[in-house]
Structure 1
Amino acid sequence: MRHIYRCPLRWSDMDAYGHVNNAVFIRYLEEARINFLFRPDKEFKQGSVVARHEIDYKRQLVHRHHPVDIELWITEIKAASFTIAYEVKDDDLVYVRASTVVVPFDFETQRPRRITAEEREFLQQYTDAADEEAVAA
């Protein structure tokens, strides 16, 4: 299963050429990640921090007044980190492919922490393996 976030484009996102500035895509990924992780039904209550971003720019996104879709899913879950993959796209047109390594973090102790069983169960719903299980059922 993939989480879809409809990301609004803002006038300030545009560069001098009328395209969304490449640096702005980091913020778009952050907005999608927050929308995914911090929902009323499931959330990483103790917090998380980003350990790594990797972005492949595929084509320019021209500024417009309607949102762009950001699909995200989980590609790897470890004991104390997980990786989110993203596609920023319109239907079959992909502007950016990216990934982020996220580390659960305890802000009270200022230390990374392990992923809880509840968090792992939530994340596993968004892996490719979960999609394969749904097709097989």
Structure 2
Amino acid sequence: MEDTATLPARDTSYRHIYEFRIRFGDIDSQMHVNNVKFLGYLEDARLEMFHTDPVRSGLEPVRGMVVSRHEIDYKVPLTGVIHPVRVETWVTELRAASFKLAYEVRDDANVYATATSTLVAFDVENARLRRYTAAEREYIGRFVKPADV
């Protein structure tokens, strides 16, 4: 685990921010958030990013995505803090039928975990892979990290 007490300032304009509070049931017998709960936080952030937020804005949500890969690195134990924690999410690669997300589970003082996911477009009715539509690619593209950041 690394010391992240002094985090550098950074441009976060391309990041989606999902804020949450630790629930009592998230804490395990070692008095920190269980590692499995982190994947739930990432899922909640993705659902808000690609479903809830577009609907709130009058846009169509991105439908028919499946996760094909997750990687997660735990940096600092996350205990039962009472202040909000957030998942900051952004796109690191966008292709015709897939994209990669990067995440930081953090607060203002610490990065508790970093993660990546690969999501692929999926045609639910025909149970096969598909390509993202132009509208989906445009929406997903708003979260692509600029090259100079």
**TM-score (norm: length of structure 2):** 0.82
Q: What residue in structure 2 maps to residue 6 of structure 1?
A: 19
RMSD across aligned C-alpha pairs, in angstroms? Answer: 1.6
Q: What residue in structure 2 maps to residue 99 of structure 1?
A: 116
Counterpart CA distance in 2 for 1:88 and 1:9 is: 12
Counterpart CA distance in 1 for 2:26 and 2:60 is: 30
Structure 2 letter corresponding to 1:13: D
Partners of 1:44 and 1:104 within 8 A in 2: no
Q: What residue in structure 2 maps to residue 18 of structure 1?
A: 31
| Match among 40, 52, 65 for residue 27 of structure 1 | 40
Counterpart CA distance in 2 for 1:29 and 1:7 is: 11
Kindly state the Cα deviation for residue 125 of structure 1 after the two structures are TM-superposed: 1.0
The question of 1:62 aligning with 2:79 is answered yes
Structure 1, unaligned stretches of length 5 or more?
Answer: none
The question of 1:43 aligning with 2:61 is answered yes
Structure 1 letter corresponding to 2:48: N
Partners of 1:7 and 1:32 within 8 A in 2: no
Percent of residue pairs bearing the same amino acid type: 47
SS state at 2:17 partner: strand
**TM-score (norm: length of structure 1):** 0.89
Kindly state the Cα deviation for residue 104 of structure 1 after the two structures are TM-superposed: 1.4
Structure 2 letter corresponding to 1:5: Y
Q: For this pair of structures, how many residues does the alignment match?
A: 131
Counterpart CA distance in 1 for 2:60 and 2:85 is: 24
